[in-house]
Amino acid sequence: MGLWGKRDDMTVHERDPFNAEPPRSALADAPFTPVDTFYSRNHGPVPEADPATWRLEVDGLVDHPLTLSLDDLRTRWDPTDVEVTLECAGNRRAGLTEVRDIPGETPWGPGAISTGRFHGVRLADVLADARPRPGAAHVAFAAPDVSPLARPPQPYGGSVPLAKALGPEVLLAWSMNGAPLPRVHGAPLRAVVPGWIGARSVKWLTRVTVRRTPSDNYFQAVAYRLPPTGTAPGTAAPGAGGLPLGPLTLNCAILRPDDGARLPCGPTPVTGYALAGQGRTVTRVDVSHDSGRTWRRADVNAAAGPWVWQQWRTTLDLPRGELEIVARACDSDGTVMPESPGRLWNPKGYANTSWPRTRVRCG
């Protein structure tokens, strides 16, 4: 096993903070991602908490502030499960760096995404007991992991609108894939916010604050925002403004064959994942071996739930030569992925939802 119990073939982008993604083939044909394969995105050193003394504070614009132990959470409200695909906002950033360099940002491939089953209590149930006051509009999450990326360094945090926090799918989770939550994934407690960028599913949770306005934490107010048009690479930092990232959008990736593979000519299986986001489903995936001149429709798994990816597969008859396999997905709202990564390029490398491309050589 590798760092933090991860498989040895993870691509480790950074050791501390630990940032790693699995090889794309490890995600193929796997509706759920084992913990040792689950991607890891951190902004500072992984903190450690004693579950016996750990407490969660629920405060802010509420009538009844709460101080909760793990036993309180497990016994005061009915526990539930949610199946969810978590995706980093920088997933597939490497495709944008092919258009133009993105200094200072992790070159994530298509593996900054994973699907798991989380167990805990609904945040809505906890908030119902705390009683949000009139004027409450946002719920902020705070954690103890101090990030040097913030200026000045500060603990990690973020927020979601109160309407999202009250959704039955949003959990305070202490279990992952049927086992206690691993430390690297947020033990003893984390937020799980299905359908939103992974940055909002705050780990190592210590405080939930009901607010009138979004969190003023660096990672809400400054980071995880699409910089304004025209911002130069390496300058999209404090004060740059931009659009805050939240709900996920339609995305897709090719997992097999691997990029750069040498293959025999003839019938070749091609597999991948697609994720619609915002509770929608993927209705179609088309795949091409000639950069999009001709297409073949793939078989797409039925959605296992409103917040999870869908696996797809097809077989292409590959001719001899250098080939570019591309894919495009369509969702239940009729949204289709844009073709060009150049239209999506931004100096932070967020939200690459353009056609995935895999280059192979046959013969």
Tell me what pLDDT residue 84 has.
98
**pLDDT tens digits, 196-228:** 999 999 999 999 999 999 999 999 999 999 887
326: nearest Cα among 225, 229, 257, 278: 257
Categorize the per-residue pLDDT at 232 as very low, low, confident or very high, splitting at 50, 70 and 90. Answer: low
For the ranges 74-83, 166-175, 236-245, which has the lowest average pLDDT?
236-245
* Residues sharing a CB contact under 8 Å with residue 90, sequence separation 6 or more, in sequence order: 105, 106, 108, 112, 348, 349, 350
Question: Region 78-98: what's the mean pLDDT?
Answer: 98
What confidence score (pLDDT) does residue 239 get?
Answer: 43
Q: What is the mean pLDDT of residues 81-103?
A: 97
| Stretch 257-264: mean pLDDT | 96
pLDDT tens track for 280-294: 999 999 999 999 999
For 294-318, write each residue's pLDDT tens digit.
999 999 999 999 999 999 999 999 9
Give the model's pLDDT for residue 279: 85
pLDDT of residue 16: 94
SS3 of the chain: the string is CCHHHCCCCCEEEEECCEEEECCHHHHCCCCCCCCCCCCECCCCCCCCCCCCCCCEEEEECECCCEEECHHHHHHHCCEEEEEEEEECCCCCHHHHHCCCCCCCCCCCCCCCEEEEEEEEEEHHHHHHHHCECCCCCEEEEEEEEEECCCCCCEEEEEEEEHHHHCCCCCEEEEEECCEECCHHHCCCCEEECCCECHHHCCCCCCEEEEECCCCCCHHHHCCCEECCCCCCCCCCCCCCCCEECCECCCEEEEEECCCCCEECCEEEEEEEEEECCCCCCEEEEEEECECCCCCEECEECCCCCCCCCEEEEEEEEECCEEEEEEEEEEECCCCECCCCHHHCCCCCCCCCCCCCEEEEEEC
| pLDDT one-digit tens code per residue, 109-148 | 999 999 999 999 999 999 999 999 999 999 999 999 999 9
* pLDDT over threshold 90, residue 240: no
Q: Which is it for the CA torsion 168, 124, 165, 311, positive or negative?
A: negative
In this prediction, residue 313 carries a pLDDT of 98
pTM, full prediction: 0.95
* Other CB atoms within 10 A of residue 289 CB: 22
Dihedral sign for Cα 41, 196, 54, 153, please.
positive
**What is the C-alpha radius of gyration for the chain, rounded to an integer number of angstroms?**
21
In percent, the amount of the chain with pLDDT more than 70 equals: 96
Instruction: Kindly tell me if the per-residue pLDDT of 241 is higher than 80.
Output: no
Residue 1: band (very low, low, confident or very high) from pLDDT cuts 50, 70, 90: confident
pLDDT at position 250 is: 97
Per-residue confidence band for 238, with pLDDT thresholds at 50, 70 and 90: very low
356, 258 Cβ separation under 8 angstroms: no
pLDDT tens digits, residue range 4-13?
999 999 999 9
User: Looking at residue 236, what is its pLDDT?
Assistant: 46
What's the pLDDT at 147? Answer: 96
Q: Is the pLDDT of residue 277 over 90?
A: no
pLDDT in tens, 20-60: 999 999 999 899 999 999 999 999 999 999 999 999 999 99
